[in-house]
Amino acid sequence: MRIDIITVLPEILSGPFNHSIVKRAQDKGLVEIVVHNLRDFSTDKHRRVDDYAFSKGAGMVMTIQPIEAAIQYLKSQREYDEIIFTTPDGIQFNQQEANSLSLKRNLIILCGHYKGIDHRIRENFITREISIGDYVLTGGELAAAVITDSIVRLIPGAISDETSALSDSFQDNLLSPPVYTRPAEYNGMKVPHILLSGNDKLIDEWKHRQSIERTRILRPDLYEKYLKEQ
């Protein structure tokens, strides 16, 4: 997989992709992540990528020329399955979206900034608009990092124990069950006896019941989705 990220602040993304699972996936050749500075595609002598919006309104807008040039340049190199724009008014990103995107071969992520981008880009180039939550960030770089991280960890081989990713929270609209490790007792606090029984069938049943109950209490919205799929 290859993920190209277009941003006006590439330095923000220098850290998230150089550690842990995402770095190991790159080292293994499972994914290639390339960050592009949008200013490199600007024809403005000062490398500006924003301008005032037509009509009244505070804030600057990312201009069409450098974005179109960046996208066209990348598309001339290879075919892309999706061109994603990170925006507060996009669809809510969730585990199902991550699963879907992890099956793609090539992705472009355009990081939103300022008051947004010239809408002609959204109308003519963007194939998927994604929000990571109902709040506003300074820019889309952190959202791009979140999306990339959630996708990469699902690529076969990125995690040594691939079944771990399949048992994550939200994979089946349920939260994960409680987890414990040694020692079995600490200052009078004990691990549930069932987990020490060695009976895999009973342990799996216990974990499933715990997932359902935790989801019912903590995330009733997910619990409703779970019930509808039963």
Tell me whether the CATH fold assigned to 2-152 matches the one assigned to 169-229.
no
Burial class (CB in 10 A: 0-12, 13-18, 19+), 56: exposed
User: Rg (Cα) of the chain, in Å, rounded?
Assistant: 22
pLDDT digits (tens, 9 = 90+) for 112-154: 988 899 999 999 999 999 999 999 899 999 999 999 999 999 9
Kindly report the CATH number that applies to the domain delimited by 169-229: 1.10.1270.20
Q: Which fold has domain 2-152?
A: Alpha/beta knot (3.40.1280)
pLDDT digits (tens, 9 = 90+) for 27-41: 999 999 999 999 999
Would the pLDDT of 21 be above 80? yes
pLDDT class of 181 with cuts at 50, 70, 90? very high
Instruction: Enumerate the domain spans of the chain.
Output: 2-152, 169-229
pLDDT class of 209 with cuts at 50, 70, 90? very high
